[in-house]
Structures are given as C-alpha cells and as structure tokens.
Amino acid sequence: MLKVTGLTRTFGGLTAIAELDFQVSENTIYSIIGPNGAGKTTLFNLLTGVYRPTSGSIQLMGQELAGLSPLQIALKGVSRTFQNLQIFAGMTALENVMVGCHGHGRCGLLASCLGLPSLQKEAKYIEELARRALEFCGLSNIAERPVSALPYGLLKKLEIARALATQPRLLLMDEPAAGLNDTETREMVGLIRSIQATGITVLLVEHNMGLIMDVSDRILVLNYGQKLAEGIPFEIQRNKAVIDAYLGNE
C-alpha cells in the first residue's frame, strides 16, 4: 500500500530522516518506534505533505505523494492525528470533526461563495460523516458539547474521529496513548483494532511498548533518522541493537 524509498529530509545541517526505505502492506498496523528526536513525527510530516522530502519517494498504491500539498495527499486517502492535540477550543466536538472534512466536499469554491443549495446538501453530508465517525469512536453523546469542557482522554479520541470522518485508506496516529491512564489505553487499543477491522491501514507512532507489541503487525525502529531494525514484534523485542538503543534490557 505504501512504499517509501530513499526518503531523506534535512533541516540545515541536521538530517532528521536519512535514506529511509520501508513498505507497508494494506490493512496492517505498522508501527514506528524509536528514541525522542529519532524522526518519527518528521516522517509523518513527510508522509502527509507538511514537509517536502529533500529527496526520495513516497508511493501510495503506486502513486507518488512526494511534492504534493497536504490537501492533495489527504484527498488521496491519507489522514492523521497529531502528537500535540490540534483541537479548536471555541467549537463543539461535532464542529471539530466537521472541520476535518474541509476540502473533502464535492462543491467548489464558487458554490461555496454563492451559498448554492448544493452547498447546504454538502454540509448535511459532512455532518452525517462527522456523526458516524463520532459514533464509531464512542463519542455520540458528546457531539454537541464544547470541547473546552472535555477531558484529555476524550479529546484524543476526538482527534481520531476527525481523521476518520474523511474516510481515509491510510491513517497515521502520532502517540494516541500519550497521557492516557491504563483504562483509557485499553480502550485506545480496542479503537485502533476496530479501525483496522474496517479495512483501514494504520501507521502508529507510540512510546507505550506494551501497546506497540500488542497491536503491531510489523515495527520499524528509527534511530537518528535511520532504520535501526524492521520486523514483527517478536523479532524487534529480541534485536540487540534495538535493546541497546531504545528498549533497554527490561
């Protein structure tokens, strides 16, 4: 589904991602782990068009994504959540999810400016998508609540609902369990699994190794922007280089 070849991104003298190669099969949960500053979020920013690659290729179903804008990439079915919550404080939960569908409608700018009836139909359609995504994440009961009143654990799910409302084929989740307690983390594992069960391919960045070893089909370990190891959880847990650089002996 995703084929990354020779991907490199530098910031001045710093190489954040270096000659990275990996492939993700459709409908798998593929995780990216590594120490702080290893380049995980930078990789997500490259895959979603927030940063342009310095060099290399990113192919989604054989189509090149490198050089496309974030919206162009989103329209090809790639969606994401953020390490630091990106929530609009003055809005309800539903509105926050609907904002994620911006640019995904069928109406053009002209219809929007003229306020044509087609636009109202589209707004209804987007609301329907947003409500379905909220329901999928178990958030229907808070749809009309202002997000400022919601606890952190629900906001993490709300970000996922927003990403799902665009009906992605590939979903990138940057530390979905960060800051969650044990119960919330278990719920998050269930949610990630149920997302995969709908046919979506999941790319996951997480520091919670219990969660990672539990849900991942394959794991890529990054260190200083380079691939340190790649394989199934069983292999990664026993890889000496990974233990030395990141996992530790415990």
In the complex, the residues that contact ligand ATP under the rule CB under 6 A are: 11, 14, 16, 34, 36-42, 83
Cβ contacts of residue 5 below 8 Å, gap of 6+?
21, 56, 57, 59
CA nearest 137: which of 167, 166, 158?
158
Give the strand pairing for 63-64 and 226-231. Answer: unpaired
Alpha-carbon separation of residue 121 from 108, 117, 131, 137 (angstroms): 13, 6, 15, 25
Using the minimum distance from each CB to Mg ion, give the nearer residue, 70 or 146: 70
Q: Which of 25, 56, 47, 7 is CA-nearest to residue 205?
A: 47
CB of 17 vs ligand ATP, minimal distance in Å: 8
Closest CB 34 distance from ligand ATP, rounded Å: 6
Residues making contact with Mg ion (CB under 5 A): 40-41, 83
Picked from Mg ion, ligand ATP, none, the partner binding residue 39 (CB below 5 to 8 A depending on kind) is ligand ATP
Q: In the complex with ligand ATP, which residue's Cβ is closer, 45 or 92?
A: 45
What does 88 interact with, of Mg ion, ligand ATP, none (CB < 5 to 8 A by kind)? none
Min dist. Cβ of residue 197 to ligand ATP (A) = 27
Both tokens of 28, joined, read: 């798998």
Nearer to Mg ion, 40 or 157 (CB): 40
> Least distance (Å) from ligand ATP to the CB of residue 200?
22
Measured from the CB atom, the residue of 10 and 57 that comes closer to ligand ATP is 10
Residue 147 binds which entry of ligand ATP, Mg ion, none, CB below 5-8 Å type-dependent: none
Question: Which is it for the CA torsion 29, 33, 39, 42, positive or negative?
Answer: positive
Structure tokens at 27: 């409908």
168 binds, among Mg ion, ligand ATP, none (CB under 5 to 8 A by kind): none
Instruction: Rank residues 63 and 84 by Cβ distance to Mg ion and give the closer one.
Output: 84
CA distance 242 to 224: 13
Q: Which pair of structure tokens corresponds to residue 171?
A: 């979903």
Tokens of 83: 């390490």
For residue 37, the partner it binds in ligand ATP, Mg ion, none, with Cβ less than 5 to 8 A by kind, is ligand ATP
Smallest distance from ligand ATP to CB 186, Å: 22
Closest CA to 143 of 121, 165, 122: 165
CA gap 209, 169 in Å, rounded: 25
Closest to ligand ATP by CB, 134 vs 176, is 176
Smallest separation, CB 212 to ligand ATP (Å): 13
